[in-house]
Homo-oligomer: A and B are copies of this chain.
Amino acid sequence: MLNEKIREILAKEGAATFATVGKDGPHLAATWNSYITVWSMNELLIPVGGLHETEANVKMNNNVQLILASKEVHGMHGPGAGYVLKGQAKFESFGGRFEQVKSRFPWARAVMVFQPADVKQLV
């Protein structure tokens, strides 16, 4: 699921934007590629500073979409690779995943655990 190309993208700095669904429609938020940890082969850990609206949305509807892309990674048509990942997320404020994230980002109040179920290369 989280293939070599996605790991290459995560190794380049850039914005990683994700969408949740709220009562007024989609809600966008973002983190940086360098803040994302690949965990146990099929989970992405995102440190949670703010993300209050994302968290409230996930409580009602845990579907999350995330785009990971970098112009510095070779894609389907030359420079530039990008993926859309669809899956489910949960927020955790204790346990191993949280401790891992907290050790890298002391400001993290929680971790958003994202489990992609569907991964599609865009470019």
Seen from chain A, the residues whose Cβ lies within 8 Å of a Cβ on chain B are: 13-17, 19-21, 25-26, 28-30, 32, 34, 63, 65-72, 80, 82, 84, 122
Contacts and interface: CB of A to CB of B under 8 A. Distances in A.
Contacts of A15: 14-17, 67-71, 82
Q: How many copies does the complex hold?
A: 2
20 contacts: A13-B71, A14-B14, A14-B15, A15-B17, A15-B69, A15-B70, A17-B17, A17-B30, A17-B67, A17-B69, A20-B26, A26-B26, A26-B65, A28-B65, A29-B67, A29-B84, A29-B122, A30-B122, A32-B69, A32-B71
A22 to B, nearest CB: 10
